[in-house]
Amino acid sequence: MITAASVLAAEENNPLIPHPFELVVGIFSFLVVLIILGKILTPRIQKTLEERTEAIEGGLVRAEQAQQEAQQVLEQYKAQQKAAAVEASNERRKAEEQGAQIIAQAKEQAQVEARRIVENAKAQIEAERQQALQSLRAEIGALSVELAGRVVGESLEDSARQSRVVDRFLEELEERARTQEQITS
C-alpha cells in the first residue's frame, strides 16, 4: 500500500499543483496583459466599435433617405403617368370630335352636292319636258290643222287662223286632263 511518505513525496511533485514561482510569474504576466488590454487595446476596440456603430447607423440613415427619395420619385412618376393618361384621353377625345366634325362636314357637303344634282336633274327634266311638250304641241297642231281642213273641207293655210285653232284645241285638251285629274284625286 501506499505509505504517507509516498503521498507527501507525490504531493511535492504533483503536476496539477503549480510551483509557487510559476504561480507568481503567471499572475504577474496576467496582470501585465490585463493592463495592456485595459489601457491600450480596450480604447482602440471601443473606438473601432463606435466607428462601426456610427457607420452602420449612418448607412441606415442614408438607406432611409434613399428610400424616401425613391418613394418621392415613384410618386412623381405616378403623377406624371396620370397626367399623361389624362392628356392622352383629352387628345383622343379631341381627335374623336374632329373626326365627328369631319364626318358631319362631309355629310353636309354630300347633301349639298346631292341637292344640287337633284335640282340640276329636275331642271334638265323640266327643260326636256317643256321641249317635248312644245314639240308635241307643234305636231298636234299640224295634225289638227290637217284634220280640221279635211273635216271642214277648206284649207287652213292662214297662220293666224291656224294658231287660233291649235290654241283652242290644246286648251280643250288641257281642260279635259285637269277634270280627269280632279276626278281621280
Q: What is the pTM of this model?
A: 0.38
* pLDDT reported for residue 60: 86
A 10 A CB-CB count for 144 gives 20
What is residue 149's predicted lDDT score, i.e. its pLDDT?
66
Residue-wise pLDDT tens for the chain (185 aa)?
A: 556 555 555 556 777 787 888 889 999 999 998 888 888 888 888 899 999 998 888 888 888 998 999 999 999 999 999 999 999 999 999 999 999 999 999 999 999 999 999 999 999 998 898 888 788 777 777 777 677 666 665 555 566 666 776 777 778 878 888 888 888 87
Of the candidates 106, 103, 107, the residue with the CA atom closest to the CA atom of residue 95? 103
CA distances from 45 to 21, 48, 49 (A): 33, 5, 6
Domain ranges of the chain: 21-177
How confident is the model at residue 124, as a pLDDT?
Answer: 92
